[in-house]
Each structure stands twice: as structure tokens, then as C-alpha cells.
Chains A and B, each alone.
Chain A
Amino acid sequence: MIKIVFFAALREQLDCAELSLNADDVKTVNDVKQRLSDKNSQWRQTFSNASLLSAVNHDMVDGSHLVKSGDEVAFFPPVTGG
């Protein structure tokens, strides 16, 4: 399984902090995004936002990054700390 976590405005829009996905169904971060978009129209609209960032195992990555079982994949808006 792959653990998927969401933060900040994205978590609130989805009303979901985390979920699990079967690793057999996805190869890349973009595949994960696609699977999540397929959930329903609201998720599709949320994930169509091009500015969303992604991380795998706490490192920022782009959509082509490979994912495997045991990974933690995160999606979040551009960061605003400091």
C-alpha cells in the first residue's frame, strides 16, 4: 500500500487528511494524482490545480517520480512559512 497525505487548504477542500492506495495500480506520482482525480468531480477539480506540490518520503518531487509500496506520498499547496 501507499500512504497518501494532504495538507493545509488542500486537506480542507478534500475534507481528507490521509488515505491508502493499492501500489499495484500506480507507477508514478502522476498516476496517483490521476487515481485520486477519478474519485469524483470535486477531487478532479481540486487536483487540476497546476500549482499543487508533491513529495515522496518527505522529498519534494515532480509528477514523473516513481512510487512503490510503503512510500508516503504527500500533496499540498505552495508553501507559505517564514
Chain B
Amino acid sequence: MISQDVLKEISIQTKDFSLADEVALLEKDNLTDGAVVTFTGRVRNNNNGNSVTSLTLEHYPGMTEKSLAKIINQAKEQWRIGRVKVIHRIGELHIGEQIVFVGVTSKHRQDAFAANEFIMDYLKVKAPFWKKEQITEAGKTSENWLDAKTSDTDKAELWS
């Protein structure tokens, strides 16, 4: 079973998030941690030479939360970290919009840096999200599902 505590650290949502608000929550009444590391992923305007206009994010409700909880718990076992927050948006997202947020706090910076990168790397290959991109080529609009990148799999394997 997934504990309620770790579920509070995960949010799958269509709405945007505020980096400032998320940092404030990681810091609120948290006087023991000196390090706050955040990562924000955004929609690029290009992919494989194509001009991307928007993305649609699909996920597997239930499994998404379970897999992210597992990843967060693994990070907590491996590093001495304080607070964690993972936000992933779903639905239609346009160029420049925020897609994903990972925030980690720790006493000293090394643990927060490493845990944040680990969570992102594992999210990339284990959490059930899929991106479909809408592209414009020579004035024509089409859409296609993104292929997984072997570079992401290789990167995640470096942690094991």
C-alpha cells in the first residue's frame, strides 16, 4: 500500500503551478534544511527538427501515483533528504508552459542535488506518462506520439 504521507508529496494536475509557492511550501516551518533544489521541465518549441506547437500528456491514473511514490521512497532510502514535492501536469500544454516540478530539501546541498536528479531520471523511464506532440511542418499540422529515448534509459541505469 502507498502511505498517505507520500501521496501528499505527489500532485498530478491539469492546472499550472507556481515555482515560488512550491518553494515557499518546501521552506515553511522547515528550519533544519539548508538546501532547496528544484527542477522545472517546460514545453520546448522544437523536437527532432520539427516545430512543436503543443503537447498532450496522457497518464495511467493510479499507477502514476504508485510509481512516483515508489521513486520518492527509494530517494529517501538512498539520501538524507527532508521534504519532497513532485508535480506533473497532464492534458494539453503549449510552448513554454511548465510540465513537471521536482523539489527536494536537505541539510546540505549534495543530498538534495542527487535525490532531485534521481527522481527526475526515474520519473522519465518508470512513471506512466505519454506525450503526444502537435507539430507544424511546411504549414501542415500533424500529431504523433513521442518515442522513448534510449539516452533516458541509459541515464536512469547509472543510478543502479
Contacts and interface: CB of A to CB of B under 8 A. Distances in A.
A74 B99 CA distance: 24
A81 B124 contact: yes
Interface string A50-82: 010001001110000000000000101111111
Interface residues of B, number: 27
B128 A76 contact: yes
B60 A81 contact: no
A9 interface: yes
A78 B124 CA distance: 10
A8 interface: yes
A7 B60 CA distance: 7
A81 B148 contact: no
Contacts of A59: 63, 66
B66 A79 contact: no
B145 A81 contact: no
A54 to B, nearest CB: 11
B125 interface: yes
B146 interface: yes
Nearest to B89: A81
Interface of A: 5, 7-9, 12, 51, 55, 58-60, 74, 76-82
